[in-house]
């Protein structure tokens, strides 16, 4: 075997050994806050269990449907609007439609999971202001956000409280 053929064989061997690692590294998704940039929209149906301000009254179930439009800035800040349609008979959320303006922050982990917190200020309707936290997973190279609310509270306190919230949504980049 000549020096030239040994060199060529060694080069082929190195490529064969290193290429799978390179391909694997290139296929790893490394997400960041920049992965969420622009407008995302979605809708959801869910249930809230609310405790009225008068603690002697039992908690009540409120069915909700939402339409959400969020703008993510790629730097960890979000803004947008949420429209909530509720069907229940318990204060502080009587049946009706409420529109909120939302402001918040988000963090995207390298694996595409993340968290968000936001404050919702009532624009119209009879619902009180609220805050919420959510966990999410990105898919579709960041064009889809699968989000589940992990907590929510009514502000200011004294107007009742959210005991439990079951609400998940998928937001799609617009």
Structure confidence by residue, pLDDT tens digits, 152-174: 776 555 555 565 667 788 899 99
Q: What is the pLDDT of residue 144?
A: 95
Structure confidence by residue, pLDDT tens digits, 85-144: 887 655 444 567 889 999 999 999 999 999 999 999 999 987 788 888 999 999 998 999
Q: What is the pLDDT of residue 18?
A: 43
DSSP the chain: --HHHHHHHHHHHHHHHHHHHHHHHHHS----GGGSEEEEEEEEEEEEEEE-SSTTSPPEEEEEEEEEEEEEESSSEEEEEEEEEEE-S-TTS-SEEEEEEEEEEEEE-TTSEEEEEEEEEEEESSPPEEEEEEEEEEEGGGTEEEEEEEEEEEESTTS-EEEEEEEEEEEEE-
Q: What is the pLDDT of residue 168?
A: 82
Q: What are phi and psi of 16, to 5 degrees?
A: -60, -35
Structure confidence by residue, pLDDT tens digits, 42-69: 998 887 766 666 667 667 777 888 899 9
Confirm if 44 and 74 have CB atoms less than 8 A apart.
no
Structure confidence by residue, pLDDT tens digits, 15-48: 444 444 333 333 456 899 999 999 999 998 887 7
């Amino acid at each position: 075997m000549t020096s030239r053929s040994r060199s060529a064989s060694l080069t082929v061997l190195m490529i064969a050994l290193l290429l799978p690692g390179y391909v694997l590294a290139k296929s790893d998704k490394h997400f960041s806050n920049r992965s969420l940039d622009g407008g995302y929209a979605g809708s959801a149906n869910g249930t809230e269990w609310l405790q009225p301000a008068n603690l002697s009254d039992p908690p009540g179930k409120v069915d909700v449907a939402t339409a959400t439009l969020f703008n993510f800035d790629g730097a960890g800040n979000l803004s947008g609007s949420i429209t909530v349609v509720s069907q229940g008979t318990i204060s502080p959320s009587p049946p009706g439609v409420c529109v909120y303006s939302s402001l918040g922050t988000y963090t995207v982990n390298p694996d595409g999971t993340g968290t968000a917190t936001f404050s919702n200020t009532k624009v119209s309707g009879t619902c009180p202001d609220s805050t919420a936290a959510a966990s999410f997973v990105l898919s579709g190279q960041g064009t889809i956000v699968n989000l589940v609310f992990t907590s929510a509270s009514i502000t200011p306190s004294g107007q009742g409280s959210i005991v439990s919230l079951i609400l998940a949504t998928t937001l799609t980049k617009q």
